Structure 1
Amino acid sequence: AQGDQQAFLEGPAIYLTVRRSHIYEDAFDKLRTENEPDVRPRFRVQMINNIGLEEVGIDGGGVFREFLSELIKTAFDPNRGFFMITTDNKLYPNPSVAKIVDDFQRHYYFIGRMLGKAIYENLLVELPLAEFFLSKLAGKHSDVDVHQLASLDPELHRNLLSLKAYEGNVDDLELDFTVVSNELGETEVVELKPNGANIAVNSLNRMEYIRLMADYKLNRQIKQQCAAFRRGLANVVTVEWLYMFSNKEFQVLISGAEIPVDINDLRKHARYGGDYDPDHRTIKLFWNVVESLDDIQKRQLLKFVTSCSRPPLLGFKDLDPPFCIQNAGDTDRLPSASTCMNLLKLPAFNSRELLKEKLLYAIQSGS
């Protein structure tokens, strides 16, 4: 670990000072392309706390990881306005963003770059992206077709399939080649093709209508957002390399694998701090308790300590920094964690029951 830290501290670096309360704004300002054309070198980050003081802590890699995790979390937060969530809680670019932010393409480029940086640094982030958006990023073609519509708007997808199979008189449905867009409370009628408002949908042209409607929803209305995001991603990781991955594999690259948490593997690669070692009574009790947890509880523990509930794809040997348990002393306290260091601060409990009770309380309340 000492060698890893030494390697982190050497070589070219990008120095950043960011306010915790304005992490997105400060990072966007400092990491714009004209300031930092290449974001692959190590970041050395100094955080400023909410009362304007520099936070103590030498950045040996941990502060950087916390910074990047928090930055990505806030960038993709639907409340910020750049992304929205589908009915099954997956993220995709906001079609109405131009009404909120003037230079929105620069922001998507920046966010794409930061996701690229996370992939480049092997930093897992919980970021469930919509299937059709993954296709646009990892696929050779940025446009996707009607089959992907279910991942954005399952109801519209069902309606279009019903129209395709409709055996009655399509003219009776009184459809035309327009779509009603309701953006930020403003209703707007958009033509799917030139003069679309004056072209009725009938049994002969309904397939064209289905194709154009899906194209509008999946491609046209977020074309600029996706193109900028993809350019940002390609600034850090080679896009041709991403073509090797299916959507599912690309999501694993970002967020880790949807596989059971292998406690034996976690234990094998764990480190210990303070007076803890593998033979310490509290550590033996800890692993005994963890082995008895169900899969959901194991994921809660992982999220509590590392901020991501999924293990790295190839196992915990790739978790950086390694999972570490440190003696937190007083058994009146709850276990706590420092996610930027993947560090669990575990009081020296002597009783299995007490350890399990306090650990579960901590990981389930997120304290």
Structure 2
Amino acid sequence: MDAAFSSAWPPLLLLSDLYTRSLLAMGDDELFSIEYNTTTASRNQLTRIELIDFSKKLLNIAYALWSKEDQRVMEERAPGINLKWEDVRERVTICLQVIHARDSRNPFMPSDHWLVNSQIDMNAFTEAAVSEEQSQANYVSPRLGVLNNIPFTIPVDVRKSIFQRFVANDMVRDKSGKTRVSLRRGSIAQDAFDKLEGVDIKAPIEITIVDEIGQEEASDGVSEAFFSIFFHEVFNRDRGFWLANEKQELYPSPHATKRELSCRDVVQDSAVDYSMGRIEHDLKWYHFTGRMVGKAIYEGHFVGVSFAGFFLNKWFGKQESFLDDLQSLDYDLWQGLVKLKRCTDPQDLKNYSIYFSIDVEGKEPHDLIPNGSNIAVTRENRLQYIQLVSRYRLSEQIKLQTEAFFQGLLDVIDSRFFRMFSQQDVTDLLGSASLPIDLVDLRRHTEYEGLYHDAEASVTAFWTVVDSFDQDERRALLKFVTSCSRPPLLGFKDLVPNFTICDAGSDEQYLPTANKCHNLLKFPRYKSEQLLRNKLLQAIYAGCP
């Protein structure tokens, strides 16, 4: 803010604006393509080294402006340019966000490029952020400004810790009473939908599981075991609500939209009413699923599924780059559109016989513009066609389903909280990333019952055996005992109840068993490590109760 640098602001902001516009029009395949030995000509005006230096300068400026304690100075005029400081901050931040989005998809920056943790005390930052959130101030507070606009400057573990503090404070503010429901094994998702759709989902919920003959199996809070069963049922693609891309990442099926379109052609009122009733029912399921995903994140449980990148982008309210985001929905279509984008030969385009319409499964082709089925794609209009196809597939086809899901999700978690995270961060929150299992941390937070203690011979043998497991075997063990194969985000101190080991007598013929409701592992006092290893793996992969 020093007036001595007034002459630097006009060219810096001009470059920021021009580069922002350039990146928004540039495909991932055109960024640093020469450096990465691709066949596509690069349209990037900056080399990788120049972009690293440029973005670091923007990062330091944006952080300084967002973290200013007295935000009233943002109303003042910046020297050398007819703009307020808040306008300067906005333009620098937008450019920074666009560059970071590219780096997130295809990393090209140094690993610690975006962090400012060497400049600030993270403990003090955390406490100040929590205090600012509790104050519910109407003005832009420094730490929340950073977290909502340039969150990537703060280490992800710090942001996750702040998020958990936000949620804990919200739980204290929510004074609703406990809801008690019984759910039938085999119909967990349907019963939960019928009984929980209208309740305060943020309030405590006590669930009783009833088996096939009407006997109560367990009565507990909304546990990891419940969420594991619920999400397994609700995200089962046979139900028709969710589809998966080539990476098995989920996104809403466009079937509800197709029902809506088909009912427009139905003449009979009763048929229309039935079709619209089905749409409303399906959208309620998306809404409820969003609420339950929010409930799981809110209480620190894992959802255990991966969502497609373009769908996760909608969680943050980010502007879609359309063609590049299409990779995470339909890779083959994306490749075809990239090929079309590069095609400049009018005769080749004519041979493709492409028109401004798109096929819709089970329906007539959908016109992307009026009379699109009769308007050919040419060299001059191909970019418009690419944008319209991308927008239709990414947004329009699943608009109703997406809106319903997010209405449910935001019933539980404030949208501001999600703005602290990236796609990968949310994947970690959902428990769909392959997080390594830290045995030192697990052992530190393990409790013992019966004759067992940390130094007992069988317990020592157990930890030696588990230490020899690879990560897949460790995840299988964790799932066997707790119903979830992924460790808590901030360590096993957050596993409730604690991981517990109990002795099961001296008869070595028996396999280890687990009580998932109590995160309890029981095994006999085996006399050899090899026998313990064999029995433990047999139990884990046989799915013994």
Work out whether residues 228 and 484 of structure 2, in 8 Å CA contact, stay in contact via their aligned partners in 1.
no
1:69 to 228, 239, 255: 228
In the alignment, structure 1 residue 320 sits paired with structure 2 residue 320: no
User: Structure 2 length normalisation: TM-score?
Assistant: 0.61
Work out whether residues 306 and 432 of structure 2, in 8 Å CA contact, stay in contact via their aligned partners in 1.
no
Q: CA, structure 1 residues 345+29, in 2 after alignment: closer, same or farther (shift >3 Å)?
A: same
Q: CA, structure 1 residues 129+271, in 2 after alignment: closer, same or farther (shift >3 Å)?
A: same
In the alignment, structure 1 residue 230 sits paired with structure 2 residue 406: yes
Match of 2:441 in 1: 265
Report the number of matched residues. Answer: 348
Deviates more, 1:96-105 or 1:312-321: 96-105
Per-residue deviation, 1:311: 1.7
Q: CA, structure 1 residues 116+201, in 2 after alignment: closer, same or farther (shift >3 Å)?
A: same
Instruction: Give 1 or 2: higher strand fraction.
Output: 1
In the alignment, structure 1 residue 175 sits paired with structure 2 residue 354: yes
In the alignment, structure 1 residue 48 sits paired with structure 2 residue 210: yes
2:238 to 79, 90, 96: 79
Higher radius of gyration, 1 or 2: 2
Per-residue CA shift, 1:262-304, capped at 9, x if unaligned?
1111100111223221122211110010111122222222222
Q: CA, structure 1 residues 256+105, in 2 after alignment: closer, same or farther (shift >3 Å)?
A: closer
- Unaligned regions of 5+ residues in structure 2, if any? 1-174, 260-274
Work out whether residues 338 and 344 of structure 1, in 8 Å CA contact, stay in contact via their aligned partners in 2.
yes
1:286 to 462, 465, 468: 462
SS of residue in 1 equivalent to 2:187: helix
SS of residue in 1 equivalent to 2:380: coil
Work out whether residues 109 and 231 of structure 1, in 8 Å CA contact, stay in contact via their aligned partners in 2.
yes
Q: CA, structure 1 residues 188+275, in 2 after alignment: closer, same or farther (shift >3 Å)?
A: farther
Per-residue deviation, 1:256: 6.2
Work out whether residues 76 and 83 of structure 1, in 8 Å CA contact, stay in contact via their aligned partners in 2.
yes
Work out whether residues 144 and 218 of structure 1, in 8 Å CA contact, stay in contact via their aligned partners in 2.
no
SS of residue in 1 equivalent to 2:205: strand
Match of 1:6 in 2: none
AA paired with 2:365? Answer: V
**Equivalences for 1:149-168 in 2 at 5 Å?**
149-168=326-345
In the alignment, structure 1 residue 346 sits paired with structure 2 residue 533: no
Q: CA, structure 1 residues 207+256, in 2 after alignment: closer, same or farther (shift >3 Å)?
A: closer
Match of 1:4 in 2: none
Work out whether residues 257 and 312 of structure 1, in 8 Å CA contact, stay in contact via their aligned partners in 2.
no
**Equivalences for 1:213-252 in 2 at 5 Å?**
213-252=389-428
Work out whether residues 360 and 366 of structure 2, in 8 Å CA contact, stay in contact via their aligned partners in 1.
yes
In the alignment, structure 1 residue 297 sits paired with structure 2 residue 473: yes
- Unaligned regions of 5+ residues in structure 1, if any? 1-9
1:129 to 297, 307, 323: 307
SS of residue in 2 equivalent to 1:337: strand
SS of residue in 2 equivalent to 1:92: strand
Per-residue deviation, 1:15: 0.7
Per-residue CA shift, 1:285-333, capped at 9, x if unaligned?
1001011112222222222222322222211111222111122334222
AA paired with 2:204? Answer: R
2:187 to 22, 28, 53: 22
Work out whether residues 143 and 219 of structure 1, in 8 Å CA contact, stay in contact via their aligned partners in 2.
no
Match of 1:201 in 2: 377
Q: What CA distance in whole angstroms lies between the structure 1 residues aligned with 2:369 and 2:235?
A: 32
Work out whether residues 136 and 144 of structure 1, in 8 Å CA contact, stay in contact via their aligned partners in 2.
no
Work out whether residues 174 and 200 of structure 1, in 8 Å CA contact, stay in contact via their aligned partners in 2.
yes
Q: CA RMSD in A?
A: 2.0
Give the structure, 1 or 2, with the largest relative contact order (CA under 8 Å, sep 6 or more).
1
Per-residue CA shift, 1:67-103, capped at 9, x if unaligned?
2331122111111221111111111111114549432
Instruction: Give 1 or 2: higher helix fraction.
Output: 2
Q: CA, structure 1 residues 256+195, in 2 after alignment: closer, same or farther (shift >3 Å)?
A: closer
In the alignment, structure 1 residue 90 sits paired with structure 2 residue 267: no
Q: What CA distance in whole angstroms lies between the structure 2 residues aligned with 1:80 and 1:340?
A: 27
Per-residue deviation, 1:13: 0.7
SS of residue in 1 equivalent to 2:358: strand
AA paired with 1:130? Answer: A
SS of residue in 2 equivalent to 1:235: helix
Q: CA, structure 1 residues 312+223, in 2 after alignment: closer, same or farther (shift >3 Å)?
A: same
SS of residue in 2 equivalent to 1:17: strand
Q: CA, structure 1 residues 81+134, in 2 after alignment: closer, same or farther (shift >3 Å)?
A: same
SS of residue in 1 equivalent to 2:522: strand
In the alignment, structure 1 residue 32 sits paired with structure 2 residue 211: no
AA paired with 1:70? Answer: I
In the alignment, structure 1 residue 332 sits paired with structure 2 residue 509: yes
AA paired with 1:163? Answer: L
Q: What CA distance in whole angstroms lies between the structure 1 residues aligned with 2:480 and 2:295?
A: 23
Q: What CA distance in whole angstroms lies between the structure 1 residues aligned with 2:497 and 2:323?
A: 43
Report sequence identity in percent: 41
Q: What CA distance in whole angstroms lies between the structure 2 residues aligned with 1:310 and 1:21?
A: 24
1:113 to 256, 269, 291: 291
Match of 2:367 in 1: 191
User: Structure 1 length normalisation: TM-score?
Assistant: 0.89
Q: CA, structure 1 residues 91+256, in 2 after alignment: closer, same or farther (shift >3 Å)?
A: closer
Work out whether residues 435 and 487 of structure 2, in 8 Å CA contact, stay in contact via their aligned partners in 1.
yes
Per-residue CA shift, 1:131-169, capped at 9, x if unaligned?
1111112x1247562211111111111110000001322
Per-residue deviation, 1:58: 4.1
